[in-house]
Amino acid sequence: MNEAPSRRVIFLSGDLMFASRVRGAAETAGFAFEFGGSLPEGDLSSVRFVILDLSTRSGLVPNLVTEVAQRCCEAKLMAYGPHVQIARLKEAREAGVPVVLTRGQFDGALATLFQ
């Protein structure tokens, strides 16, 4: 029998190197980790975190807040990006992303983010 994981993290990014750090933190906290360019098809009810990398996937911002609310309403949505990409950070906040961090802030929070 193939059971869905009870808690999942979806990491929307194009940065494979940084994804390994996020994967490590998520898996250490007991989450299944999924990496991709958009929300996957299918049941997302077990998703607890959706993390958006604004440096590689900022084009998802306009629709992502609504999509997360409709498809995985228990998930905490957050976005991060380089501190120099002020417009992308601002756009994410204005679109309704509840947590928007600089990459440094996000990286610094990884040790406790999923606890």
CB burial class (10 A; 0-12, 13-18, 19+) of residue 43?
A: exposed
CB burial class (10 A; 0-12, 13-18, 19+) of residue 92?
A: buried
Long-range pairs for 19-24: beta carbons < 8 A, 24 or more residues apart: 21/107, 21/110, 22/51, 22/110
Query: In this predicted structure, what is the pLDDT of residue 1?
Result: 43
* pTM metric for this prediction: 0.92
pLDDT < 50: residue spans in the chain: 1, 4
Query: In this predicted structure, what is the pLDDT of residue 115?
Result: 86
Is 83 in contact with 102 (CB distance < 8 Å)?
yes
